[in-house]
Structures are given as C-alpha cells and as structure tokens.
Amino acid sequence: MRTMSDWVDYAEAQGFPQRGGASDTEIEQIGSAFARQFTIPLPSDYADLLQISNGFDFDGIVVYGTRDQDDADGFLPGLFDSNERLIHGVESIDTPLRFVGETGDVLFAYDTVEHQWKAVARYGWHTVFRFSSFGELFDAVLTTTQ
C-alpha cells in the first residue's frame, strides 16, 4: 500500500496539482466532530492526507477536505458540508453512512452500524466494495488510475 504522500505526489506528477495541507489546528478542530458524526476517531491515514493536501482531487476522484473550498483552483467539497448535503439535502435520510469522498457514480463512506469503510453506489447507496480502513479504501480507489 502506498503512503498518502506517495499518492499526492503521483497525482501532481500526472498534472493534478493538490491544495496545501490543513493546519494541525484545523485537523484538531474537525477531530471531535468527526468522532461524533462517524462514531470513530479521525483515522490517522485520513489525518495524514489532510496534512499533505486539505482535500484531494485527482482525475475525478475526490476526498473531502476540512471545509468547502471555492477558489481559483475550483470547488472542492468539505467533509461536513458534503455530509449535510448528501444526508439532509432536500429530505433528511436516516442512514448509517457517513461520506468522505466520491468518484463518478460511487461515494466513499464509513458505515456506523457495520463499522466498515465502503464504496457505495451514488444512487441507492448499495455497497459496491468493503474495506477495513480508510487507507485501504483510498489505496484501492487510486490503484484503479494506474
């Protein structure tokens, strides 16, 4: 499995510049909210990614940053803002899924009932793949780009 730094370097080498990393304070601030919403501590590999790049955007694969960012580099969704839009958009949906990213018709999520990381279909939210960690999910998704 590649490190988060390796994947960020790979994305940049392929012509997809990444944003700067989140500050320790920003990561610390989302940690308690993440634990409440996801029912687990902020995974260290996700925190590692945020330190290197506050959100990740590579060839249609997006991992949410600490907050929505809309700047000269384009729009990059934030973790909690995206969950608010996905779960409580037009209607509130009772779901154990908490979302960390997306690509095409697939959302990346943590299931708070089954305690698993998943790739789920954007429409219907049925499970496509299961993973033991955020790092395993991230690595599997990025491996498809090679």
Q: What pLDDT is recorded for position 117?
A: 98
pTM for this prediction: 0.90
Please say if the pLDDT value at position 90 is more than 70.
no
- The reported pLDDT for the residue numbered 89 is 63
For residue 84, the SS3 value is helix
User: pLDDT band at residue 93, thresholds of 50, 70 and 90?
Assistant: low
How does DSSP assign 91-124, residue by residue? S----SEEEEEEETTEEEEEETTTTEEEEEETTT
pLDDT band for 121, please (50, 70, 90 cuts).
very high
CATH topology of domain 4-143: SMI1/KNR4-like (3.40.1580)
- 58 pLDDT above the threshold of 70: yes
